[in-house]
Amino acid sequence: MPEETTDSLKPYTVYLTDKEAQEIEDSGRGESLSRKLEYILSDYRKLQHEKRVFKSIDLFAGIGGIRLGFDRAFGDEIETVYVCEWDEYAKKTYRLNFNDSFDIAGDITAEKEEKIPEFDLCLAGFPCQAFSLAGKRMGFDDDYKGMSRGTLFFDVARICEFRKPKVIFCENVKGLVIHDRGRTFEIIKGTLNQLGYNVYTAVLNSKDFGVPQNRERVYIVAFRKDIDSSSFRFPEGEKRETSIKDIMEKEPVSVKYYLSDVYLETLRRHKKRHLDKGNGFGYEIRDIDGIAGALVCGGMGRERNLIVDNRLKDLTPVTHIKGEVNREGIRKMTPREWARLQGFPDSFRLELADTHLYKQLGNSVTVNVIEAIAREIKKVLDRDREKNRRPDV
């Protein structure tokens, strides 16, 4: 609190009941009446700020990409109160980048919904699973939530049914839309509707949101039906052209990212075999003036986004390889370059072994897309809050 001076004090007439005056006197802080009132006003401002803060939970959190996008969009008006992620290595990266006072929960199926703190926004990047057939076997033909039983989406549904948050946000692979001949997607939307939500969906491409990655994902936004969400629109993106060159490391990278000539020849033979069979599967060298393919964590994920980088002059191997380092400048992108393709800032800490980081980043979301959607969600919530705001007394 600032020191009281006669220059900073102005005379005001305040009418109080005996009870109000006694409550101020009993507040226990400050010697003078003006100082006591100053403390009370400070508490009031803090309370008003807390009322403006939306509480969120982060389910299937990965390394926190969805949370990061919402944090950017909501600023100091969002607070994460619960996080759940089962992968221990993902948890390590998450903890490096978010300073929470609580532990990260593990198995979502073992979490009791009543134990999860109250929240306004549920953020969930749940895995894609089939469940329409299982539901029909159990007699849930018209019960969408019942059809989802036995899947991880069911846990999202049961938690949100109990807490009734204002918004449920989900991200998934584009294939979810046609998964199990479209039944999976219909059950998800039907479940959210039965829980009391208006559901909006869209397939968006990361390349339209300022990153050079061709990554289409489906996004689901569900607003509780007592909130007027009729004005909600998914963002269209910036359509700003970017290229791989924009996200490349500024300095030459370690020789460990360069392929050996033996491995490169193996990839070429592998691709030729598939081409001869009429398949398009195989490694791919990207033009650095173009964009990357979708980052994936398994199979040929790294080899589908190779680049040519001739800046490194010392090609002495630093790991045990067959043959020698290729002389064509062909290398994998680094984890930091993958992070940039996903919209993570360079301040985001990547301290685990590369094997884990590639998996985590391939499994993650494009932060730029999440942020753009979150800004549109916030517009709806701000309008709803303004509509329901009572004048201060």
Element (H, E) at 273: helix 261-276
Lowest pLDDT segment from 186-195, 249-258, 297-306, 383-392:
383-392
As a whole number of angstroms, the distance between CA 364 and CA 350 comes to 13
- At residue 33, φ and ψ (nearest 5 deg) are -60, -40
Residue with tokens 């490096």: 96
The segment(s) of the chain belonging to CATH 3.40.50.150 are 53-240+365-388
Instruction: List the catalytic residues.
Output: 128
Q: Give 34-88 pLDDT, tens digit per residue.
A: 666 565 555 555 444 445 799 999 999 999 999 999 999 999 999 999 999 999 9
Give Cα 345 distance to the centre of its chain: 13
d(CA 188, CA 202): 14
- Residue 69's φ and ψ, nearest 5 degrees, are -65, -40
Q: What phi, psi does 148 have (nearest 5°)?
A: -85, 0
More confident residue, 316 or 26: 316
Region label for 174, one of left (φ > 0), alpha (ψ between -120 and 50) or beta (otherwise):
alpha
For residue 261, give the H/E element and its range.
Answer: helix 261-276
pTM of the predicted model as reported, rounded to 2 decimal places: 0.83
| Structure confidence by residue, pLDDT tens digits, 115-146 | 999 999 999 998 765 544 434 444 334 555 55
Q: 203 φ, ψ to 5°?
A: -100, 120
What is the C-alpha separation between 348 and 340, in angstroms, rounded?
10
**pLDDT, mean over the chain:** 86
CATH classification of 53-240+365-388 is 3.40.50.1370, yes or no? no
Instruction: Return the H-helix or E-strand segment holding 275.
Output: helix 261-276
Nearest-angstrom CA–CA distance, 342 and 351: 17
Spatial neighbors of 288 by CB under 8 A, at least 6 apart, are: 243, 244, 245, 248, 307, 308, 309
Per the document, the length of the chain is 393
* Phi, psi of 220, rounded to the nearest 5 degrees: -120, 125
- Mean pLDDT for the stretch of residues 241-266: 96
- CA 46, CA 347: separation in Å to the nearest integer? 30
Q: What is the dihedral of CA 353, 358, 361, 363, to 10 degrees?
A: -120
Distance CA 347, CA 43 (A): 34
Q: What is the pLDDT of residue 348?
A: 98
Retrieve residue 301's tokens.
């994920």
**Secondary structure (DSSP) of 35-53:** HHHHHHHHHHHHHHHHHHP
Q: Strands, DSSP E only, in the chain?
A: 54-59, 78-84, 121-124, 167-173, 197-205, 213-214, 216-224, 292-293, 307-308, 330-331
Which residues, in sequence order, are bridge partners of residue 216?
205
Reported as a single tens digit per residue, the pLDDT across 144-181 is 555 555 578 889 999 999 999 999 999 998 988 888 88
pLDDT-derived band of residue 204, with 50, 70 and 90 as boundaries?
A: very high
